[in-house]
Amino acid sequence: MNEIRVSTPGRICLFGEHQDYLGLPVISCAISRRVTISGTPTPSPVLSLDLPDIRKKIALPLNRPLPYREERDYLRSTCNIMHRAGYTFHNGFSGLVKGDIPINSGTSSSSALICSLVALLARLSDQALDLEPMEIARLAHQAEVLEFAEPGGMMDHISTALGGILYIQFQPDVAIARLPSRLGTFVLGDSREPKDTRGILHRVKNGVLDIVSRLAVSNPGFSLRSVDRSELKRFDLSNEEHDLLDGALHNRDLTRQALQLLQQEGAPERRFGDLLNQHQNVLREQLKISTARIDRMLAAALAAGAWGGKINGSGGGGCMFAYAPGCSEKVAEAIEGAGGKACAIYGDGGTRIEKTFP
């Protein structure tokens, strides 16, 4: 039997953190840390995977609906989504899942796993399809988010399935543009602090959406895409509400500036780094999603020569990254000295079937 190997990268959000669920654009970058599923087809329709990184083994039948046995049971939900989408299986698969993306740290390790699994199952199925990246992203989003009524958007799935540096617009329709800029080395720093994703999303997401809903009633035509920050003073907002809404609009404006910069093949490094730092300031001071340790890691990175950096993901822990072309080793040492676990990363491609051996 042929061996199949499918891999998908993690991602960092360059600009637009906490924006996708508001319908505002983001700029993401796939990174050179991946989740890989490798193994061989089997003659019975059972998916058997060894996942040593999370200390789990599974054996799942592929041709019938599967009950969920735990919260966010993504492996079973992926099998169910593929089954509902009309994929059938006379063969199964036995393999190993390995990855070097930090887990539960805001770098899309779970989305990378599910995108890899979707691509694998489509290839393994009786239909034997090599899916287009956007179809991989769509099915993975169904399995990871919609199936469990989770609050997340499609940024992670689009970013990891398609790869590269992407400008992703969500309203009025999803639209994606590949940005030509060639960025140098980043350093990813894992704070090793557990993330409070649900708590932060409840406070930030629900907070902003509640404000927008209220303002739209009293101010017909109000829109996050068009309102200017200078207009906020005319609205009846508490200090906390003002900070949340102004932070969202400031991030929107920074993303627009970054888009203009990254549409150039050679983006000025100093300006790029400065925009990252401004974004981090908003995330720390207004949305309040950074932590003291991540702040120390970022300060150490800048002192060691990085041009800029920010927290990555929903916040409250997890990872940060610093833009450090030409000084990545020094910056990584500084981040580790501040309590993080660091590694150099680069831009990377999306989901791919890497090798098949006859």
Question: Where in the chain does DSSP place strands (E)?
Answer: 3-15, 26-42, 46-51, 56-61, 92-99, 165-169, 175-178, 186-190, 308-312, 319-323, 341-345, 352-357
Across 8-15, average pLDDT = 97
Whether the predicted pLDDT of 33 surpasses 90: yes
What pLDDT sits at residue 1? 59
The single residue listed with the structure tokens 């988010």 is 145
Q: What is the mean pLDDT of residues 138-160?
A: 92
Read off the DSSP letter of residue 163.
B
Q: What per-residue confidence (pLDDT) applies to 12?
A: 97
Q: What is the pLDDT of residue 357?
A: 59
Three-state SS for 345?
strand
- Does residue 151 have a cis bond before it (omega within 30 degrees)? no
pLDDT digits (tens, 9 = 90+) for 238-293: 999 999 999 999 999 999 999 999 998 777 889 999 999 999 999 999 999 999 99
Are 190 and 318 in contact by the 8 Å Cβ rule? The answer is yes
Supply the DSSP symbol for 224: T
Confidence of residue 198 (pLDDT cuts 50, 70, 90): confident
Does 197 have pLDDT greater than 80? no
Residue-level pLDDT at 358: 55
Q: Distance between CA 168 and CA 158 in Å, rounded?
A: 8
**What is the residue whose two structure tokens read 């051996």?**
357
Which tokens belong to 313?
A: 């993901």
Burial degree of 13 (CB within 10 A; 0-12, 13-18, 19+): buried
How crowded is the C-beta side of 82, counted as CA atoms within 13 Å? 36
Mean pLDDT of the chain: 94
- For 275-326, the DSSP string reads HHHHHHHHHHHTS----HHHHHHHHHHHHTT-SEEEEESS-SSSEEEEE-TT
Rounded-to-5 percentages of helix, strand, coil across the chain: 40, 25, 35
Statement: residue 234 has pLDDT above 70: yes
Lowest mean pLDDT among 5-9, 193-197, 205-209, 238-242: 193-197
157-190 pLDDT tens trace: 999 999 999 999 988 889 999 999 889 999 999 9
pLDDT confidence of residue 355: 67
Token readout for 101 is 């993306």
Quote the DSSP letter at residue 22: G
Going from the N-terminus, what domains does the chain have, and what CATH number goes with each?
3-183+353-357 (3.30.230.10), 187-345 (3.30.70.890)
pLDDT: which is higher, 102 or 202: 102
Determine the Cα–Cα distance for residues 286 and 240; give it in Å rounded to an integer.
Answer: 8
Write down the number of H helices and E strands in the chain: 10, 12
Mean pLDDT for the stretch of residues 46-59 = 96
pLDDT, position 264: 85
Cβ atoms of residues 160 and 138 within 8 Å: no
pLDDT confidence of 221, banded at 50, 70, 90? Answer: confident
Average pLDDT over every residue of 141-159:
90
Q: What is the pTM of this model?
A: 0.93
User: In which band, very low, low, confident or very high, does the pLDDT at 128 lie, cut at 50, 70 and 90?
Assistant: very high
Residue-wise pLDDT for 306-347, tens only, equals 999 999 988 899 999 999 999 999 999 999 999 999 999 999
pLDDT digits (tens, 9 = 90+) for 294-308: 999 999 999 999 999
Using only C-alpha atoms, the chain has a radius of gyration, in whole angstroms, of 21
Residue 81 burial (10 A CB sphere; 0-12, 13-18, 19+): buried
Please tell me the predicted confidence (pLDDT) of residue 46.
98
